[in-house]
């Protein structure tokens, strides 16, 4: 893969600087997308994503953005309540906090009880809607 093909969108956003001037080029050509280290100001200072140039309030926010948008992973995270699948653990956590708030303890107990009863041969209780 050429440098221009690997990082063309990022380089285009850099307003005229060619692909060779992009800090992304060397990582993209190698096929490895890596989380950048914090800037010299420290982890609590504003940070810029070198891949899309978006600015974040701190290194933790940049790290979450990077994992959600730029990191490639074959792992899928599955919600134990509704079985929806998510590409990142952060997305699953956000989903559960918004969709299953306050019901996690009750639903976990219900799922556990249902699993035990199905092993013992007792029919599970009717599903809650």
Q: What is the pLDDT of residue 73?
A: 84
Cβ atoms of 117 and 124 closer than 8 Å: yes
Q: What is the mean pLDDT of residues 121-128?
A: 64
Based on the domain organization, do 81 and 106 belong to the same domain?
A: yes
Strand runs labelled E in the chain: 47-48, 55-56, 77-78, 85-86
The β-bridge partners of 85 are 78
State how far the Cα of 74 lies from the Cα of 57, in Å rounded to an integer.
29
pTM of structure: 0.51
Q: Which domain holds residue 43?
A: 38-72
Q: What is the pLDDT of residue 125?
A: 64
Based on the domain organization, do 44 and 67 belong to the same domain?
A: yes
In a domain, 81, yes or no: yes
Span 21-62, pLDDT tens digits: 444 444 444 456 788 888 888 889 999 999 999 999 999 999
Span 59-96, pLDDT tens digits: 999 999 998 888 888 899 999 889 999 999 999 999 99
In a domain, 21, yes or no: yes
Our count of domains for the chain comes to 3
Span 94-122, pLDDT tens digits: 999 898 887 656 656 666 666 665 555 65
């Amino acid at each position: 893969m050429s440098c221009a093909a690997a990082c063309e969108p990022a380089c285009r956003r850099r307003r005229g600087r060619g692909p060779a001037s992009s800090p992304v080029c060397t990582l993209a050509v190698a096929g490895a997308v890596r989380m950048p280290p914090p800037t010299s100001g420290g982890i609590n200072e504003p940070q810029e994503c070198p891949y899309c140039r978006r600015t974040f309030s701190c290194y933790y926010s940049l790290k979450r953005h990077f994992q959600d948008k730029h990191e490639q992973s074959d792992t899928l995270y599955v919600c134990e309540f509704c079985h929806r699948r998510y590409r990142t653990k952060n997305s699953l956590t956000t989903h559960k906090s918004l969709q299953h708030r306050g019901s996690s303890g009750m639903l976990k107990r219900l799922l556990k009880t249902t699993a035990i009863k199905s092993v013992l041969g007792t029919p599970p209780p009717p599903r809650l809607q």
